[in-house]
Amino acid sequence: FAQSKGLATADRLTVKQDGAKYVVSGAPFANQDIQASKKIYQKGSTLIPCWDLSVDLGYTWLNAFVSIATGEIVGVSDWSSDFSDASYLAVDPHNQAPFDNQLVTLKNPWNLDASPNGWHVVKGTERKDLYGNNVAAASNPNGSSSQTNAQVLGLSRPSSDSLTFDYQVDNTKDAMNAVNINGAVTNMFVASNIIHDFFYNYGFTENAANFQFDNLGKGGKEGDGVIATCQDRYNTDSSSRNNANFLTPADGTSGRMRMYVFDVTKPTRDGAYDNGIVYHEMGHGLSNRLTGGGSNPNCLSSSQSGGMGEGWSDLWAVVLTLPATATRDTDIDMGRYVLGGNKGIRTYPYSTSLTTNPHKYGELKSTSEVHDVGEIWCTMLYEVLWNMVDVSGWLNPADLTTGKDSGKGNADFASVVIQGMKNQPCSPTFIQARDAIIAADKTMFGGKYNCAIWTGFAKRGLGMNAKGSPYTNNADIPVECGGTPAPSSTVVTTAAPTAQPTSSAVTTGGASTCAHSICTSGGKLSSTCDSCVAQICAADSYCCTTSWDSICVVWKQLTLAAIGKGNTRTLSLEFTPFVNCFLRPVPPTRWAQGLILAKEFQDKEDSDSSSNSDSASNEENSETEHETKTKNPQMMYTEYKRAEKIWQSYQKQAKDDEDTIKYTLSAIYGGLSKSMQAQYAFHDTPASLWEELK
């Protein structure tokens, strides 16, 4: 390090080790001891073992990454923030748009945690135009759909040696008037950077596949800052009006944002002056990169998941532009500026009033257009936002970027929504995304907001017993949140089986009418159910409460369907102690999914084994192994562990085994009542948790 910087150093230095950290003293150029540790530095696709050095030089403070093998400095960040000041005339970041031509002067509006070198330094070089580490902004009226990123980056853009960008807006003139063009580029640059910094502080960092040209040695793939253009293709494509879009490739390739001119007013207006639209588009980059991971940006492509993508994007426009005096009675419209009136671009304002905004979950049965679906999702989240504010209070949106740890409801809301995106599977449904947010609250805040979240979703029809297609509204909430306790088991067609040795079996045939909810809910079973299923549930009345229906469903899936022959069902009573004792502490919501996956995995193995078997004895052995796996609780545990591994490929969301386990277990814990949580002590680490389950 000293040699590359031309610094004199002593022949001998003193090094003290404390665990993984080292303290180096005796360097004459350092104002204080040098802090060091071993790290892996990612440069492009190469991982380089390095020394991570923190060096106070007095006139500056450097964080350097020095190759252990070669001594070469492979990365360096200047913590002294000695880059130039910058000033921008722009829309207040927490207002939607320049109504009445109102702009404000913003000086150094960046957040140093998210943008440690400000907004204009790229790879150690300070630029004097609207091109920085997070965003490169330009006007592009003569562009084409075939432009490459390099061509767009080569466009001219407003510049200033003093980094002063003070272009005024004039709403009495067209968007394409020279007086408005540079101001629109400036506002787009500012708004895009503002939301980059906001997202960064709530978890959309380099390692989470955010958008930056230089990742400063912090992981992830770099070279992918957002390339943003406004007035895009105005002169070359008449269809490029009244819209905006964001293209999200995989981590390492720049996001591409296009803002268009809106001509529904006279004079025309520029979407780049509407912060809500900029925040909305940047929000697509967040949700597409976090859902499924940065290498798979295609996880929001179905009508339901894509609709949620639109809803999340609206959400950030709402969260960041709510007035400081907002209350739960505040209604907020999107896009009033570009439409030139009091009504926004959505069907209803976002509101907690069912009269003002009647959107509910059940509407999904009659709509699939992504923006319509998005309105429903954002409306639900708006309810959750204000419920969380009721619990922990309100933080002025102007302070949200630095307020992640404030403990306020709207700050914690942003945290759980963004963590929920990381939790959820690829192509999530409303139900899966809801559960991912609830799991995030459990992990991050110990379930502090559990009831606030449940009641918010339930108000809009996404309650505990909401189902996928057909979509019907459900307002059920957990008992601990004031919900109605589930009724005890009432209709069972056969008495509980008498005690028998666990090795014996009961054989029944046919089916009998059964009104128990396990036979009529979830679309899994018909209106009749087998008497042996009723016997299982009757053997344990606790199992038959509503919250434990899934256990019986799993039993049907794993026993009757797995080893049944025609109308004759064979049930080993070994299952009964497994139900009563082994599964009792574990809620069914995730066990059901996990065990069904285990069965699918098992069936595939059985099928493969059978197809590769030429002898009857081999088939018999396969059947015996199948039956053994199904009967033995320890084998079932093993199957569940195997299911956990294939769960990753099913949901395409796990970054590693530990993440999957943590997500799964937080969801399991979330299904327990408070009394059950008290009885069943969960541990801090997945490893110890699995031991407890085992």
Tens digits of residue pLDDT in 567-626: 222 222 223 322 332 233 333 334 444 444 445 545 555 555 555 443 333 333 333 333
Domains of the chain, each with CATH number or no CATH: 2-78 (no CATH), 87-290 (3.10.170.10), 303-481 (1.10.390.10), 505-693 (no CATH)
The whole-number pLDDT of residue 78 equals 64
How far is it, in rounded angstroms, from Cα 168 to Cα 526? 67
Phi, psi angle pair for 50, to nearest 5°: -140, 160
Q: How confident is the model at residue 6, as a pLDDT?
A: 77
* Tokens matching residue 346: 């959505």
SS3 state at 276: helix
| Mean of pLDDT values over 22-38 | 91
- 58 — pLDDT class (breaks 50, 70, 90): confident
Amino acid identity, residue 271? G
Residue 89 pLDDT exceeds 70: yes
11: number of CA atoms within 13 Å, CB side? 0
Judge contact between 398 and 319, C-beta under 8 A: no
Mean pLDDT of 372-401: 97
Q: At residue 259, what are phi and psi to the nearest 5 degrees? A: -110, 135
Which amino acid does the sequence have at 148?
T
Using the predicted structure, report yes or no on whether residue 327 has a pLDDT greater than 80: yes
* Other Cβ atoms closer than 10 A to 290: 27
> Looking at residues 493-518, what average pLDDT do you find?
32
Residue with tokens 């574990």: 586
652 versus 206: which is more confidently predicted? Answer: 206
Check the annotation: does 85 bind a ligand. yes
What is the spatial distance between Cα 659 and Cα 424, in angstroms, rounded to a whole number? 11
* pTM passes above 0.85: no
Beta strand 261-262 pairing with 256-259: unpaired
Burial class of residue 643 in the structure, from the number of CB atoms within 10 Å of its CB (0-12 exposed, 13-18 middle, 19+ buried): buried
Residue 343 structure tokens: 């009504």
Is 284 labeled as ligand-binding?
yes
Residue 272 pLDDT > 80: yes
Q: Which of 15-24, 52-61, 305-314 has the highest mean pLDDT?
A: 305-314
Mean pLDDT value across the chain: 77
Half-sphere exposure of 590 (CA within 13 A, CB side): 25
Identify the pLDDT of residue 554.
41
d(CA 408, CA 415): 11
Residue 280 known to bind ligand: yes
Least confidently predicted of 8-22, 151-165, 201-215, 498-512 = 498-512
Q: Which residues pair with 568 in a beta bridge?
A: 509, 565
Q: Which residues contact 434 (CB under 8 A, 6 or more apart)?
A: 380, 453, 457, 462
SS3 for 302? Answer: coil
How far is the CA of 210 from the CAs of 81, 227, 293, 628, in angstroms? 22, 13, 10, 48
Residue % of the chain over a pLDDT of 90: 58
Residues facing 47 on adjacent strands? 42
Q: Which residues pair with 139 in a beta bridge?
A: 230
Cross-strand bridge partners of residue 64: 53, 76
- Span 294-308, pLDDT tens digits: 999 999 999 999 999
State the residue for tokens 């031309």.
6
User: Does residue 347 carry a pLDDT above 80?
Assistant: yes
- Secondary structure of the chain: what % helix, strand, coil (to 5)? 40, 15, 45
Number of helical H runs and strand E runs in the chain: 20, 21
Distances (CA, A) of 9 to 26, 52, 58: 8, 18, 15
The answer to whether 371 is annotated as binding is no
How far apart are the C-alpha atoms of 135 and 193, rounded to whole Å? 7
Q: Phi and psi dihedrals of 21, rounded to 5? A: -105, 150
Just list the catalytic residues.
Answer: 281
Mean pLDDT value across residues 487-513: 33
